[in-house]
Structure 1
Amino acid sequence: MNNRIEKGDIVVINKSGKYYQQVGEVSEVDYNIFFVKIVLVKLSNQEEAFEEKDLQLKTKKPSLQEIIVSVDTILEQVAQIAHLQAKEKVELPNRLKYLKLDIPKLDKQLIQKNFDSIDRILVTIRETDSSASFWQEIDPNLEKISWWIRTSL
């Protein structure tokens, strides 16, 4: 595992004081005039700057490969949904396949458009059947894709 702290990673503040043991997401990485790595961390209601040595990596943001696996996992789960309407039965798998093809291109607008459509369709499906077991696989993978889009593009 790469232990370098990068934008999108989840970190724990190790520096004693006001923010000790708080968890946040890295929103920016920069260097000061002495070439010390300064990390801007988004905490619950504000952003604060810390030196990298004051942070502990908790979770790396998902890699490109992990995102493609997440799309494949959602595709597999979608195939198991029995009560899809005809339009959803065609559109949802197609949108997922397009998303999978678009991710390596890193085209933010195209990726965001497909992701928003997928999310909208899944919200509609959830309204009819929110307790089905396939949501246990879909939800974390959808969240992982959302995290990657927010922090990588």
Structure 2
Amino acid sequence: MNDRIEKGDVVLINKSGKYHKQVGEVSEIDYNIFFVKIVLVKLGNQEENFEEKDLQLQTKKPSLQEVIASIDKVIEQVDQIPHLPTTEKVELPNRLKYIKLDIPKLDKQLIQKNFDSIDKILSATREADSSPSFWQEIDPNLEKISWWIRTSL
């Protein structure tokens, strides 16, 4: 695993003080005049600057390959959703495939629009029937896709 802290990674704050042992997501990376890496970490609804040495990497943001694999897994799981109207049974895999095609272009608006539609359809479907085990496969993969979209575009 790459130990360099990058935008989108989840980090633990090791520096003693107000934020000690809190976990946050890296929102920006910069360097001060002495070329020390300064990391802007989002902690709840606020952001604070830390030196890289004061942070411990918890989770790397998903790579492009992981996101594409997650999209493929969600496409596979969509077939297992019972009571999914025919329109959505066709629309969901198509929108997921569109995201896969749009990722190399990094078209944020198009990717976000398709992801929002997918999320809306799946949320409504989950409300109707949240018990099946396929949600255990879909949810972490959707989270991974969402995380990548939020931190990469």
The 5 A counterparts of 1:58-97 are 58-97=58-97
Moved over 2 A (4+): none
TM-score, length basis structure 1:
0.97
Provide, for residues 123-150 of structure 1, a one-character-per-residue CA deviation record: whole Å limited to 9, x for no partner.
1211211111110011111011111111
Superposition CA RMSD, Å: 0.8
The 5 A counterparts of 1:37-56 are 37-56=37-56
Count of aligned positions: 153
Alpha-carbon distance in structure 2 between the residues aligned to 1:62 and 1:121? 23
Alpha-carbon distance in structure 1 between the residues aligned to 2:45 and 2:112? 25
Corresponding position of 2:142: 142
Corresponding position of 1:103: 103
Q: Please, which runs of 5 or more residues in structure 2 have no aligned partner?
A: none
Compute the displacement of 1:66 (Å): 0.4
- Aligned partner letter, 1:91: E
Provide, for residues 16-71 of structure 1, a one-character-per-residue CA deviation record: whole Å limited to 9, x for no partner.
11111110000100000110000000112311100000000000000100000000
Q: Is the 8 A contact 1:64 1:104 kept in 2?
A: no
Alpha-carbon distance in structure 1 between the residues aligned to 2:44 and 2:88? 36
TM-score, length basis structure 2:
0.97
Alpha-carbon distance in structure 2 between the residues aligned to 1:26 and 1:128? 36
Corresponding position of 2:129: 129
Compute the displacement of 1:82 (Å): 2.4
3-state SS of the aligned residue for 1:38? strand
- Aligned partner letter, 2:106: L
3-state SS of the aligned residue for 1:27? strand
3-state SS of the aligned residue for 2:93? helix
3-state SS of the aligned residue for 1:4? coil
Tell me the percent identity: 82
